[in-house]
Amino acid sequence: MDTREALGSWIDGPKAAAEKMGADFGYRGERLGLPEEGPGSLARPGRRLGALFVDGWLCSLVAYGLISHGDRADANLWTTPLFYVVTAVFLATTGTTIGKRLFGMRVVRLDGRRASIPQILLRTLLLCLVVPAAVWDRDSRGLHDKAVGTVEVRM
Query: 25 phi and psi, to 5 degrees?
Result: -90, -10
Inside any domain, residue 8: no
pLDDT beyond 90 at 116: yes
- Residue 151 has what pLDDT? 95
* Domain range for 47: 27-154
**Within its chain, how far is the Cα of 48 from the centroid?**
5
Q: Is the residue at 19 inside a domain?
A: no
Determine the pLDDT at residue 88. Answer: 97
The string of pLDDT tens digits covering residues 20-75 is 776 666 788 888 888 989 999 999 999 999 999 999 999 999 988 887 777 777 77
In a domain? residue 144: yes
Q: Is the pTM of this model over 0.75?
A: yes
HSE-CB for 83 with a 13 A CA cutoff: 27
Mean pLDDT over each residue of the chain, to the nearest integer = 87
Q: Which residues pair with 136 in a beta bridge?
A: 142
- Residues 95, 121 contacting (CB under 8 angstroms): no
Assess if residue 57 is contained within a domain: yes
> Percent of the chain having pLDDT more than 70?
85
Q: Is residue 143 part of a domain?
A: yes
Q: Report if residue 58 sits inside a domain.
A: yes
63-72 pLDDT, tens digit per residue, is: 888 877 777 7
What is the pLDDT at residue 5? Answer: 56
| 37: in domain | yes
Structurally, how many domains does the chain consist of? 1
Residue 134 pLDDT greater than 80, yes or no: yes
